[in-house]
């Protein structure tokens, strides 16, 4: 089953990237640009076949794909019959269409996948019983899987009400630092073996959750799908929420605690792999979130990202003359460094999670 999970996770990532490149390819063909090559996977190439003016190839490194359009570098030396259909010979709107088509595919795919989850597959409901207890938290050794949470500080209600009753107990002085204990303990009543058991526990602050917690998770209940219209509305809400959270990722670089939350390619892959092992239905939602994240990050206005190409195309339109390629190259260094910093931090965090507490897939 592990091999199936590994292959499934890898295929999921590759499909997202290939569909992204297929968006660029289709748009370039549609607006009349000359596409030299459309490749599945990266070189060295194993197979290649030229159909018309485009070479279709299969690479040996299974990490996505790429599209090569003539004239992506304005200084590229091209024959006259090719130069007229080269990328930088085209009007700005065509370039924006071609570059924007890749992220657009990921945006649309993300919305569809999330809608499938909420309208067809359904999301897991939660019960009022404890499912798992985390080591190193106050609940460990006091609360047991299968316990039913009856009340918190005398408050009863659904899991959301009970969770809020716990998180209302903040650290002394409102200090929000990892591991700080709430100023007041909570009076927890659980039902175990049909009998109520009172417990007094002090929640501790979890920076990832941005609240105080006791360290237990509720057991999952049956999946519940939404009717179509509410599902569309809920999908749109989650779509916008994930988009905004992804946009804020660069800001996390300047906060030591937030920096630890950044996840990279390894993390996304591992979460997907473990989700396949745990519940294959959740893979659809995970891939939807990853597709949306890829789209948003690709739209950051820095070269070599798609958003960087669109940004400089708009600058050219505003100033009514081409931007020197040397200027774009120098500006691209900033974007490249940002991408590399995010990659390194995400990769380092992922390795730390793999070696330590692992990834939370729920």
pLDDT digits (tens, 9 = 90+) for 327-351: 887 877 877 777 777 666 665 655 5
Residue 176 annotated among the catalytic residues of the structure: no
Bridge-based pairing of strands 216-224 and 123-133 is antiparallel
CA distance 188 to 185: 9
Catalytic residue among 21, 144, 160, 270: 21
pLDDT in tens, 234-289: 999 989 988 887 787 666 665 655 555 555 444 444 444 444 445 656 778 878 88
- Tens digit of pLDDT for each residue in 313-325? 999 999 988 888 7
Q: Are 312 and 35 in contact (CB under 8 A)?
A: no
- Average predicted confidence (pLDDT) for the chain: 81
The reported pTM is 0.73
Instruction: Please state, in angstroms and rounded to a whole number, the distance separating the CA atoms of residues 267 and 48.
Output: 33
How high is the pLDDT of residue 5? Answer: 52
> 65-114, pLDDT tens digit by residue?
889 999 887 777 888 778 889 998 899 999 999 999 999 999 999 999 98
What is the rounded CA–CA span in Å between residue 56 and residue 66? 11
Pick the CATH number of 124-224 from 3.40.250.10, 2.30.42.10, 3.40.50.2300, 3.40.920.10: 2.30.42.10
Report whether 88 contacts 78 (CB < 8 A): no
CA distances from 192 to 96, 195, 200 (A): 62, 5, 16
pLDDT for 171-196, tens place per residue?
877 667 777 888 888 899 999 988 99
With 50 as the cut, is the pLDDT of residue 357 above it? no
Between 340 and 39, the higher pLDDT residue: 39
Pairwise CA distance, residues 302 & 259, whole Å: 21
The domain spans of the chain are 124-224
* DSSP SS3 for 201: strand
The pair of structure tokens assigned to 27 is 């748009």
């Amino acid at each position: 089953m592990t091999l199936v999970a590994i292959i499934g996770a890898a295929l999921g990532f590759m499909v997202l990237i290939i569909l992204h490149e297929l968006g660029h390819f289709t748009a370039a063909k549609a607006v009349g640009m000359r596409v030299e090559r459309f490749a599945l996977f990266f070189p060295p190439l194993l197979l290649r076949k030229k159909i018309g003016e485009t070479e279709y190839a299969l690479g040996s490194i299974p990490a996505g794909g790429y599209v090569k359009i003539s004239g992506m570098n304005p200084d590229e030396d091209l024959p006259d019959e090719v130069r007229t259909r080269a990328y930088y010979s085209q009007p700005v709107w065509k370039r924006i269409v071609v570059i924007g088509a890749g992220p657009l595919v990921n945006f649309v795919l993300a919305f569809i996948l999330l809608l499938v989850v909420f309208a067809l597959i359904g999301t897991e409901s939660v019960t009022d019983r404890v499912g798992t207890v985390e080591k190193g938290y106050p609940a460990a050794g006091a609360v047991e899987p299968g316990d039913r949470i009856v009340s918190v500080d005398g408050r009863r209600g659904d899991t959301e009400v009970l969770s809020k009753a716990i998180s209302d107990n903040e650290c002394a002085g409102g200090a929000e630092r990892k591991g700080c204990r709430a100023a007041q303990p909570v009076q927890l009543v659980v039902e175990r073996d049909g009998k109520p058991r009172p417990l007094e526990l002090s929640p501790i602050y979890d920076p990832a959750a941005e609240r105080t917690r006791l360290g237990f998770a509720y057991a999952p209940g049956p999946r519940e799908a939404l009717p179509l219209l509410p599902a569309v509305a809920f999908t749109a809400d989650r779509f916008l929420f994930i988009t905004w959270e992804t946009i804020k990722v660069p800001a996390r670089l300047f906060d030591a605690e937030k920096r630890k939350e950044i996840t990279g390619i390894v993390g996304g892959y591992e979460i997907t792999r473990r989700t396949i092992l745990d519940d294959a239905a959740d893979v659809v939602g995970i891939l939807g979130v990853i597709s949306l994240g890829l789209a948003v990050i690709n739209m950051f206005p820095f070269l070599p990202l798609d958003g960087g190409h669109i940004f400089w195309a708009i600058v050219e339109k505003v100033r009514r003359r081409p931007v020197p390629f040397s200027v774009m190259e120098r500006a691209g260094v900033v974007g490249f460094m940002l991408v590399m910093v995010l990659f390194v931090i995400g990769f380092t965090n992922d390795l730390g999670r793999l070696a330590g507490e692992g990834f939370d897939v729920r």
